[in-house]
Structure 1
């Protein structure tokens, strides 16, 4: 392309040659300069009109701001609805947890009514309606409070259940001889050595010499000695004035002061002392009074754990503990 520029004053002319590349570049620069000028002008006019309140510009600004606010409000509403839905699901799970806690509290011996009246229950239930931010925050605060209360309730029930478990382990319901066959039972009988009527103060478990003798419950060894009537004897204190006695052992594996676990091997069956043959003589004493050990062994199979401790109460006095009878 040839451009001829003529100067009328100087009566001169000048020819400019533009190739295709230069022409495109010149057009691009011109368009860019026009865009910059238009953008600057638009920006200046728009800001000036917005500040001074020009009718047309002011209406446009209001429309833009309104649309922006509507988009922001719609975004927040969608997020609030999602949060409210999740909160409703959490509340439903809390209600299920509350129902489960009431059932477990019965097993733990805790009155659900007393716990409910002390701690309170309920709270704002999230439904299908939309919530405001304040309502959502208040509901979250209620849910946090209820969560703390449920934690306290579960802690109380855990303590009660643990206490029941400990009491159960301290009551002699474990058979002292694994698979042992019961021989002489508790009560009056004819003494096998002198033929006279006498009170048999425990249970006899005939077994082969060396058979393991197991602790009927956890406790502490308070006596480990040789007795003329009981032979090699072990006594374990289970607390609450409850003691179990294991007699006629051939070998004793524990000593006084040892801490014993339920089912632990403490001795081996023998025929020491006043005995007619190898067997374990097993006694249970409550407050120094002989009890029928069979009641405790049966209680471990039939009675709930919460009632086992009540089984360890003395009945009618059978015989003083310090008066050993023939075996």
Structure 2
């Protein structure tokens, strides 16, 4: 193809020679420019018509965007369903926590009915129907309030149980000699040295020399000395005017002022002082008056049995 271009000002002519490849490239370039221009014009006119509300453009816009809106709606619905299922699982666990909390509250000596009247209980149950975004938000807010109130309640239960544990640890209910049999009980008996009736102010635990002696409860060592009658003696103050005494020991492992824990080894069985053979003489004093240690030890055995029974009951439920 030959194209002649004439310049009117210079009165000159220029000839362009286009072969088949050049003509094909020019046609392709021209088509591309035409399509780009058409697309740009379409978008400008379409957006301008939708923005300014030209007649007919709104319905066209709805048709064009309907597929995208449906896809977004389906995506949101699926995510809401997943969140609702997870929230339903959390509500089920919260109900289990409520049931367990009622039983634990009973063990702590608290009224289980108080556990049912905490704020945040109730509300919609997830899983009954599909929820909207607002309903799902309300359910999550209720669950947040409910969980917070139950944390406070369980903290109070924990505090009560801790107080009870501390109180029990300061009461001499631990056997001072593991598996030891009781020889002479508390009360009046014939004194083996004088042959006359006298008050035996404690319990005797016959054992081999060197057998560990354990603290019957936690406390502070207030006496550690040799006594003519009691031999090597240890006294532990447990507070509330409660003192335990351990006599005739062969060896002492604590000193005055030491803090001891319940069940801690404080001495070894011996036969020092006014003794007829190796044994531990164990006494309990309340406000300066000797008490029968058997009552304290029996109370410890009963509490241990009650705790085992309560734990078994909780597990069965």
Same fold, judged at TM 0.5 (above): yes
> Shift of the alpha carbon at 1:283?
1.0
> Shift of the alpha carbon at 1:183?
1.8
The answer (yes or no) to whether the contact 1:165–1:305 under 8 Å persists in 2 is: no
For residues 28 and 52 of structure 2, what CA distance do their matches in structure 1 show? 36
For residues 49 and 264 of structure 1, what CA distance do their matches in structure 2 show? 90
Question: Residue 155 of structure 2 corresponds to which residue in structure 1?
Answer: 155
The answer (yes or no) to whether the contact 1:4–1:16 under 8 Å persists in 2 is: yes
> Shift of the alpha carbon at 1:94?
0.9
The answer (yes or no) to whether the contact 1:4–1:13 under 8 Å persists in 2 is: no
Question: Residue 277 of structure 2 corresponds to which residue in structure 1?
Answer: 277
Residues 263-315 of structure 1: per-residue CA shift (max 9 Å, x gap): 222223222222222221111122333222223223322325889xxxxxxxx
Question: Residue 207 of structure 1 corresponds to which residue in structure 2?
Answer: 207
Correspondence 1:39-188 to 2 at 5 A: 39-51=39-51, 53-117=53-117, 119=119, 121-188=121-188
Correspondence 1:16-55 to 2 at 5 A: 16-20=17-21, 22-51=22-51, 53-55=53-55
For residues 5 and 24 of structure 2, what CA distance do their matches in structure 1 show? 26
The answer (yes or no) to whether the contact 2:118–2:149 under 8 Å persists in 1 is: no
For residues 303 and 7 of structure 1, what CA distance do their matches in structure 2 show? 117
Correspondence 1:234-253 to 2 at 5 A: 234-253=234-253
Residues 130-186 of structure 1: per-residue CA shift (max 9 Å, x gap): 222222222111111111111101111111111122222222222222343322222
The answer (yes or no) to whether the contact 2:120–2:143 under 8 Å persists in 1 is: no
Q: Which runs of 5+ in 2 are unaligned?
A: 308-317
For residues 238 and 44 of structure 2, what CA distance do their matches in structure 1 show? 94
Q: Which runs of 5+ in 1 are unaligned?
A: 308-327
Residues 180-220 of structure 1: per-residue CA shift (max 9 Å, x gap): 33222222322211222222221112233333322111111
For residues 83 and 251 of structure 1, what CA distance do their matches in structure 2 show? 67
Question: Using a 3 Å threshold, how does the CA distance of structure 1 residues 40 and 19 change in structure 2: closer, same or farther?
Answer: same
Question: Using a 3 Å threshold, how does the CA distance of structure 1 residues 36 and 263 change in structure 2: closer, same or farther?
Answer: same
Question: Using a 3 Å threshold, how does the CA distance of structure 1 residues 119 and 186 change in structure 2: closer, same or farther?
Answer: farther
The answer (yes or no) to whether the contact 2:173–2:297 under 8 Å persists in 1 is: yes
The answer (yes or no) to whether the contact 1:223–1:233 under 8 Å persists in 2 is: yes
Question: Residue 325 of structure 1 corresponds to which residue in structure 2?
Answer: none
The answer (yes or no) to whether the contact 2:231–2:273 under 8 Å persists in 1 is: yes
What SS does the corresponding residue of 1:131 show, helix, strand or coil?
coil
The answer (yes or no) to whether the contact 1:209–1:268 under 8 Å persists in 2 is: yes
Correspondence 1:6-17 to 2 at 5 A: 16-17=17-18
Question: Using a 3 Å threshold, how does the CA distance of structure 1 residues 33 and 194 change in structure 2: closer, same or farther?
Answer: same
Matched residue count = 303
What SS does the corresponding residue of 1:220 show, helix, strand or coil?
strand
For residues 48 and 149 of structure 1, what CA distance do their matches in structure 2 show? 56
Question: Residue 315 of structure 1 corresponds to which residue in structure 2?
Answer: none
The answer (yes or no) to whether the contact 2:183–2:204 under 8 Å persists in 1 is: yes
What SS does the corresponding residue of 2:117 show, helix, strand or coil?
helix
The answer (yes or no) to whether the contact 2:120–2:142 under 8 Å persists in 1 is: no
